[in-house]
Amino acid sequence: MAGFIEKKNILSAGGVSLEDIAREHGTPTYIYSADHIRGQFEALKGAMAKALPKNKQPLLCYACKANSNVAVLSLLNGIGSGLEIVSEGELRRGLKAGFDPQKIVSTGVGKQRSEIEACLNAGIRQFNVESLPELEFIDKIAREMKKKAPVVFRLNPDVSGGGHSKISTGRKRDKFGLSADGVFRAYTMAKTMKNVEPLGLSIHIGSQVFDVKAFEKAFAKLPALVGDLRKEGFTVARLDIGGGFPIQYNDEKLLDLDAYAAWVRDIIVPLDTEIVMEPGRYLVGNSGALLTKVLYVKETQDRNFLVLDAAMNDLIRPTLYEAYHAIEPVKNRNAAKKVYDVVGPVCETGDTFGTDREIPEVREGDLVVIRSAGAYGFSMASNYNTRPLPAEIMVDGDQSALIRPRQSYNDIIDQDIVPAWLKR
Q: Which residues bind ligand PLP (CB under 6 A)?
A: 63, 65-66, 84, 107, 169, 204, 207-208, 242-245, 278-282
Smallest distance from ligand PLP to CB 203, Å: 9
Smallest distance from ligand PLP to CB 328, Å: 24
Span between the terminal Cα atoms of the chain, in Å: 56
Query: 347 an active-site residue?
Result: yes
77's CB contacts (< 8 A; 6+ apart) are 83, 97, 98, 99
Closer residue to ligand PLP, CB minimum distance, 308 or 323: 323
What DSSP state is assigned to residue 137? H
User: Looking at this protein, which amino acid is placed at residue 386?
Assistant: T
Is the separation of the CB atoms in 58 and 264 below 8 Å?
yes
Smallest distance from ligand PLP to CB 138, Å: 17
Closer residue to ligand PLP, CB minimum distance, 247 or 290: 247
Specify the DSSP element, H or E, that contains 44.
Answer: helix 34-51
Smallest distance from ligand PLP to CB 135, Å: 17
Closer residue to ligand PLP, CB minimum distance, 169 or 273: 169
412's CB contacts (< 8 A; 6+ apart) are 383, 386, 388
Closer residue to ligand PLP, CB minimum distance, 176 or 340: 176
Smallest distance from ligand PLP to CB 261, Å: 16
Angle (CA) 204-207-212 rounded to 5° is 80
Closer residue to ligand PLP, CB minimum distance, 210 or 305: 210
Nearest alpha carbon to residue 138 among 175, 190, 66, 202: 190
Cα 271 to Cα 160: distance, rounded to the nearest angstrom:
24
Cα 106 to Cα 125: distance, rounded to the nearest angstrom:
8
**Residue 247, SS3?**
coil
Smallest distance from ligand PLP to CB 68, Å: 12
61, 64, 119, 347: which is the annotated catalytic residue? 347
Closer residue to ligand PLP, CB minimum distance, 228 or 274: 274
Smallest distance from ligand PLP to CB 154, Å: 8
Nearest alpha carbon to residue 114 among 140, 132, 87: 87
Closer residue to ligand PLP, CB minimum distance, 56 or 204: 204
Smallest distance from ligand PLP to CB 62, Å: 9
Cis peptide before 28 (omega within 30 of 0): yes
Nearest alpha carbon to residue 210 among 267, 268, 157, 249: 249
Nearest alpha carbon to residue 130 among 158, 164, 112, 156: 156
Closer residue to ligand PLP, CB minimum distance, 129 or 362: 129
Cα 381 to Cα 384: distance, rounded to the nearest angstrom:
9
Cα 80 to Cα 277: distance, rounded to the nearest angstrom:
13
Cα 352 to Cα 76: distance, rounded to the nearest angstrom:
32
**Residue number of the CB atom closest to ligand PLP:** 280
Q: Which residues participate in catalysis according to the annotation?
A: 347
